Amino acid sequence: MKTKLFFLITVLVLGTALAACGPTTIVTEPQPPQRVMTVTGAGQVTLTPDIAYVYIGVHTENADVSQAVSENNNKAQAVMDALMRAGVATKDIRTTNFNIWASDQYDEKGHKTGTLYMVDNTVYVTVRDLPKLGDLLEIAIQSGANNINGIQFDVADRTEAVAKALIAAVEDARKQAEEIANAAGVQLGVVQTISYYDAQPLTYDYGKGGGGVRMEAAVPVSPGQMQITTSVTIVYELK
């Protein structure tokens, strides 16, 4: 009898312990939706370029591939030497393309008359003394360059400009939020989140100085102005 009673008590204790270890359901009151306002502000800064990048190349053609390469090498080296003598640092002249290809030649009846070998050598030049850009282009042309393109103006250090654009974007977002809140009859609370978007690609407003080559003077160039634009998205609590 004692054995049966002990067994019964053991079973009851185990059952209670297992019940205590089972899943517990907690009932919570539904939370009211958070009242917020989301606004996006933009900031823009206008700058005057102080640096330029330009592709300068030499193109040669010859029926003899060795002659085409030799002529190209001589002219390309002459261009680079002239640029360095004019003050461009060696580190600011970088070869970006060297290409050789064959071009079959045909007469007006479609018969092949021969083959010309084309050679291109292009360097990417950084011009840090911007007022000298026109003179440098003229020097390159006189030294043998016959392919100049892709002039791009920029600002060497955009750190301060980006910071100013960001401050302006935050101020723009704040003003928008205040105007909307006043119109809606609500009050702004604390800022919940801020999202910052990297500066957008630079937009340029170049001057319209001609691009033709004048052998008696420097090539006319005009850097114009450029703009940096940033944006922020701010979420405000509404009281």
User: Alpha-carbon distance 230 to 162, whole Å?
Assistant: 7
3-class DSSP assignment, residue 211: coil
Q: How confident is the model at residue 219 (pLDDT cuts 50, 70, 90)?
A: confident
Which residue ranges make up each domain of the chain? 31-50+157-239, 51-154
Beta-strand (E) ranges in 16-91?
Answer: 36-47, 51-62
Could you tell me the pTM of the whole model? 0.68
Q: How do residues 140-178 score in pLDDT, each as one tens digit?
A: 999 999 999 889 999 999 899 999 999 999 999 999 999
Looking at residue 222, what is its pLDDT? 84
CB contact set of 184 (below 8 Å; sequence gap of 6+): none
* CATH number of the structural domain 31-50+157-239: 3.30.110.170
Q: How confident is the model at residue 223 (pLDDT cuts 50, 70, 90)?
A: confident
Q: How confident is the model at residue 191 (pLDDT cuts 50, 70, 90)?
A: very high
Architecture of domain 51-154: 2-Layer Sandwich (3.30)
